[in-house]
Amino acid sequence: MGDTLKLRLLSSDQVSTMREKCLYLLSTMGMRIDHDGALDILAGAGADVDRETHVVRFPVDLIETAIASVPGELTVKGADASHDCPIPHPEGLFYSCTNIQSMLHHDVDSKRFEDNTAARYAEWCQIIEILDHADICAIQTPMDVPAESAEVHALSIQMQNTTKPLWMHAFSREAVPFMFELMVARMGSVEALREQSVAIINPGTVSPFIMKEMDAEEIIQACHHGVPISADGHVMSGFVSPMTVAGSVVQNCAEVLAHIILCQVVKPGHPAMMTQFNVPGDMATGFSTLATPAANVQRSAGVQLCKEGFGIPVSGCPIMTDTYVSDGRAVAEKALGGLMSIMAGMDIAYGLGRLGGASLASPAQLIIDNQLIALLKEYVGGVQVDDDHLAVEEIVAAGIGGSFVHSKHTLRHCRDYVEPGLFRFQLQQTWEAEGEKDLYERAVDEYRRLKTEAKPVDLPDDVRRDMDAVVARADKALCP
Amino acid sequence: MSINDIRQAVLAGDEQGAARSAQAELDAGTTAQEIMDSALISAMDEAGAKMATGELFIPEVLVAADAMKAAMDVITPHLAVEAAGGRGTVVIGAVEGDVHDIGKSLVALMLDGAGFNVFDLGVDVATEDFVTAAREHDADIVAMSSLMVTTMPKMKVVIEALHAASLSAKPIVGGAPLTQAYADEIGAAGYAPDAGGAVRLVRDLV
C-alpha cells in the first residue's frame, strides 16, 4: 500500500495528546490484575502494586521502556512455514483472520443456525487451509465437546485440520497450560514451538481496566513458549468506556498497553501487537454494534494511535456485520469497515466468515469474505508508476486510433489484477443461463466445491497420539 | 398537578419535577398507593415498552428510573409497609468463573428501575453465595448470567443447589451463548435475550 493511501483520522497533535492520556491513566489510575505471579513480576520491574486491591500503577518510565522494546516487525507463524505472515506485509498489504469463538454455524442446507460441532469446525479449518485469502484461522467453540475443556478440543481440531497460523485464546485460566502443551505436542518440543510458533495469542481486558488471571497467564506462557501475542481491549462505549470516540480509543489503548507492558517485562523484545476490537454500545438494546460507522471510526482511530503513537503493529476486527444473513448489508458493512481500518494501517483484519450477533459462523459468508479480502487488497495495493507501467512507448506504438489488446505489454499485465471470482462480470445471457444466481448462491456453490477438496492435515501418528493425550488429560483435569 | 404530571416528569427523567409533583399530589389527597400504581409503575412500564421498540435508549430509561426513585422517596413514608417493598426481590450475578459484568449490571439496573428490590452479587459468584443470598433476601428470582461456554454449566449447578436448599426462588438465565433451549434443558424458569426482555420476564414470573 502506497503511503499516499494512508487514512489519517487524527492529526499528529491529537495522536500526541491521546498517547499522553493513555500514559496518564496507566500511571495514575492503573489496572487491576488478578494474577499473583504477574503482580510479583511487575512489582519487581518497578510498578506500584497494591496487593490488597490488585491494582497496578505503571510508572511512565516503565511504560516507555516497554513500548520501546516491542519489535516493530514480527512474523505470525503457522505449522507450515509457507503460510507465515511477516508483519509489516512485504507488499504493504495486510493479513486476514477468520471469526473467533463461534458457537453457532449457519447450515447452507437447512438455512438455519445450528450448533457448531467438532465436525463442522474441522471442515471449516480444512476449507481455510485452501482459501487463498484467509491467512489466519481463529479458534471457535464446538458445542458437542465438554464445555469445560472446549478450547482445548478446539485447538486440537485447528491443528489437525490446518497448517495456517492460529488465532487463539483460552476460555478459562485452568485450560491455559493444556493449550500450550498441545502446541508443544504438535511441534514436537518447546524449542520447535519457539522456532515455528504456530499461533498468536489474544489476551483481552475486561473493561474497564481489569486483566483477568487467565489473560495474564496466557501472556506469561506465550513469552515462555515464544508465541506472539495480540493484546485486546474490550471497550464498549457508553457502557464500559466513554460514549465518545476519543475517550473509548484512549481507554482501549491504555488497557491494551497494560498487557503489552506485562509481556515486555516478562520477556523484553517479545513480539506483540495491539488489537482494536473497540466497539460502541447500542444505546437501544445494550448490545455492542460491530459494523456501524461509529464502530469503524473508533477502530480506525485506534489503529492510527497504535501505529503513530506507539509504533506497535495492530490487529483488529473490521470485517464485521451486524446482520444475520449474507445479504447486501453484510457485504457493504464488511467492505466499508475493512477498507477504512486497512487504510488506517491495520496489519491483521479479523472477521472472515462472521455474521452478526454474539458470534455466528457462516461457511458461505467465509467464501464471500475470502473474495472480499482479495478485492480489498486490490483497492489498497497502490499504483505503480515506472516506465513499464507508464507504458508511454506502448501508447506511441499503438498510435492514434490504435489498439492495445494484442500487444505483449497487455499480455504481460493482463493478469495483474485480482480474479474477481464471485464478483466477476458476466454477460446477462450467461448469468441467466447459469440460473440467475445471486452472490450467496454462488458462494454456496463454491463452498460445496471446496468441501470436495478439503482434507485433514497429514499428521504423523505419534504427533496425533501426543495431542490426543493432552486433550484427554485436559478433560480429566477440567471436567467434573 | 396531576398523576399525568408525575408520569411525564418520570418519563422525562426530571427528578425534581417528579418529586415535586408527587408531593403536590399527596397534598391534594391522592393516596400514595394510587401515585405508585397510576404514575410511577405505569411510567416505568411505558418506558420499558418504548425501550423495546427503540423509541427510548437505555440511558434515558435509567434517568427515568432515577426520577421514579425521587418520587418514591416522597411517597414511601405514606405507603403501607408491604406496598413499599416493591414488586419483588431479585438476586442477580454472573456465575462462578465468569467475570463479564456489562449485561448483568444492565439487567440489575433495569430491574431496579422497574421497581424490584435487586441484590447484585457481582461477577464470579460462587454457587453457595447465590443460595445464601436467595435465602437471606427471600428472593423471588435468582438471575444468572454467563458469557462463556465454559461457565454455562455452572447455571445448572446453581439451579440444582436452589432446589436442594428447598428455596422457592425462580432461576432465570441470560448471556450471549445462552438460548431458550439451553435454559429449558437445565431447568431454568426463564430466559431473556436482552435487558428489556429480562424485565418483562421477571414481571411475568413474580
User: Smallest Cβ distance to A141: which of B103, B149, B196?
Assistant: B149
Q: B57 to chain A nearest CA, in Å?
A: 4
HSE-up of residue A448 (Cα within 13 Å, Cβ side): 8
Q: Rounded CA gap, A345 and A312, in Å?
A: 11
- Contact at CB, B57 and A147, closer than 8 angstroms: no
- Contact at CB, B102 and A236, closer than 8 angstroms: yes
- Contact at CB, B153 and A285, closer than 8 angstroms: no
To 10 degrees, the CA torsion angle through B174, B179, B181, B186? Answer: -40
Rounded average pLDDT over B73-101: 80
Number of neighbouring beta carbons within 10 Å of residue A263:
28
Task: Give buried/exposed letters for A121-140 (b at 16+ CB in 10 A, else e).
Answer: bbbbbbbbbebebbbbbbbb
Q: Rounded CA gap, B110 and B100, in Å?
A: 17
- Contact at CB, A171 and B195, closer than 8 angstroms: no
CA B163 vs. chain centroid, Å, equals 22
> Of all helices (H) and strands (E), which one includes residue A74?
strand A74-76
The angle, 0 to 180 degrees and rounded to 10, between the axes of the packed helices B42-52 and B195-205 is 140
Instruction: Check if the beta carbon of residue B103 is closer than 8 Å to that of residue B71.
Output: no
Q: A144 to chain B nearest CA, in Å?
A: 11
Q: What pLDDT does residue A447 have?
A: 97
Nearest residue of chain A to residue B51 (CA atoms): A284
Task: Label residue A11 exposed, middle or buried (CB < 10 Å: 0-12, 13-18, 19+).
Answer: exposed
Nearest one of B118, B192, B101 to A285, comparing CA atoms: B192
Look at A455 and B197; give whichever has higher pLDDT: A455
Chain A contacts of B95, Cβ < 8 Å?
none
Per residue in B89-137, pLDDT (tens digit) is 999 999 998 877 778 888 888 888 888 899 999 988 999 999 999 999 9
Q: Which residues contact A340 (CB under 8 A, 6 or more apart)?
A: A7, A296, A297, A299, A300, A318
3-state secondary structure chain B: CCHHHHHHHHHCCCHHHHHHHHHHHHHCCCCHHHHHHHHHHHHHHHHHHHHHCCCCCHHHHHHHHHHHHHHHHHHHHHCCHHHHCCCCEEEEEEECCCCCCHHHHHHHHHHHHCCCEEEECCCCECHHHHHHHHHHCCCCEEEEECCCCCCCHHHHHHHHHHHHCCCCCEEEEECCCCCHHHHHHCCCCEECCCHHHHHHHHHHHC
| Mean pLDDT of the residues in chain B | 88
Residue B85's pLDDT band (boundaries 50, 70, 90)? low
Q: What pLDDT does residue B86 have?
A: 66
Q: What pLDDT does residue B200 have?
A: 87
The pTM (predicted TM-score) of the whole model is 0.89
Q: What pLDDT does residue A224 have?
A: 97
Instruction: Check if the beta carbon of residue A363 is closer than 8 Å to that of residue A402.
Output: no
User: Smallest Cβ distance to A358: which of B58, B151, B176?
Assistant: B176
Task: Give buried/exposed letters for A426-446 (b at 16+ CB in 10 A, else e).
Answer: eeeeeeeeeeeeebbebbbbb
Q: Which residues pair with A280 in a beta bridge?
A: A237
User: Smallest Cβ distance to A284: which of B57, B100, B176?
Assistant: B57
User: Smallest Cβ distance to B153: which of A147, A210, A285?
Assistant: A147
Amino acid identity, residue A103? M
User: Smallest Cβ distance to B149: which of A103, A206, A239?
Assistant: A103
Predicted ipTM? 0.72
- Contact at CB, A150 and B149, closer than 8 angstroms: yes
Q: Rounded CA gap, A320 and A280, in Å?
A: 13
Task: Label residue A375 exposed, middle or buried (CB < 10 Å: 0-12, 13-18, 19+).
Answer: middle
Region for residue B166 given its phi and psi (left: phi exceeds 0; alpha: psi -120 to 50; beta: otherwise): left
- Contact at CB, B97 and A172, closer than 8 angstroms: yes
Q: What pLDDT does residue B81 have?
A: 54
Most distant pair of Cα atoms in chain A: their distance: 82
pLDDT digits (tens), chain A, 480 positions: 555 678 999 999 999 999 999 999 999 999 999 999 999 999 999 999 999 999 999 999 999 999 999 999 999 999 999 999 999 999 999 999 999 888 899 999 999 999 999 999 999 999 999 999 999 999 999 999 998 999 999 999 999 999 999 999 998 899 999 999 999 999 999 999 999 999 999 999 989 999 999 999 999 999 999 999 999 998 999 999 999 999 999 999 999 999 999 999 999 999 999 999 889 988 888 888 999 999 999 999 999 999 999 999 999 999 999 999 999 999 999 999 999 999 999 999 999 999 987 679 999 999 999 999 999 998 998 889 999 999 999 999 999 999 998 899 998 998 888 777 898 888 898 899 999 999 999 999 999 999 999 999 999 999 999 999 999 999 999 998
What angle (nearest 5°) sits at the alpha carbon of residue A442, between those of residues A440 and A446? 115
Q: Rounded CA gap, A344 and B185, in Å?
A: 46
Q: What pLDDT does residue B78 have?
A: 87
Instruction: Check if the beta carbon of residue B90 is closer than 8 Å to that of residue B137.
Output: no
- Chain A with chain B: Cβ pairs closer than 8 A: 56
Q: Rounded CA gap, A210 and A289, in Å?
A: 22
Instruction: Check if the beta carbon of residue B145 is closer than 8 Å to that of residue B93.
Output: yes
Backbone angles phi, psi at B100, to 5 degrees: -80, 130
The angle, 0 to 180 degrees and rounded to 10, between the axes of the packed helices A36-44 and A213-225 is 60
User: Smallest Cβ distance to A212: which of B56, B99, B153?
Assistant: B99
**What single-letter DSSP state applies at residue A418?**
P
Chain A contacts in chain B segment 15-34 (CB below 8 A):
none
Instruction: Check if the beta carbon of residue A32 is closer than 8 Å to that of residue A55.
Output: yes
Q: Which fold would CATH assign to domain A68-380?
A: TIM Barrel (3.20.20)
Q: What pLDDT does residue A97 have?
A: 98
For every residue of A207-257, DSSP letters joined together read: TTTEE-HHHHHHHHHHHHHT--EEEEE--EETTTB-SSHHHHHHHHHHHHH
Q: Which residues contact A315 (CB under 8 A, 6 or more apart)?
A: A97, A230, A273, A274, A275, A276, A346, A347, A348, A349, A350
Q: What pLDDT does residue A418 have?
A: 75
Residue tagged 447486501 (cell numbers): A328
Backbone angles phi, psi at B41, to 5 degrees: -65, -40
Chain A contacts of B56, Cβ < 8 Å?
284
Number of neighbouring beta carbons within 10 Å of residue A303:
28
Q: Rounded CA gap, A406 and B162, in Å?
A: 81
Q: B127 to chain A nearest CA, in Å?
A: 15
Q: Which residues pair with A210 in a beta bridge?
A: A32, A206
Q: Which residues contact A23 (CB under 8 A, 6 or more apart)?
A: A60, A63, A64, A254
Q: Where are the domains of chain A?
A: 68-380
Does any CB of chain A come closer than 8 Å to the CB of residue B176? Answer: yes
Chain A contacts of B54, Cβ < 8 Å?
284-285
Q: What pLDDT does residue A387 have?
A: 96
Residue B36's pLDDT band (boundaries 50, 70, 90)? confident
Q: Which residues pair with A76 in a beta bridge?
A: A85
Q: Rounded CA gap, A192 and B144, in Å?
A: 44
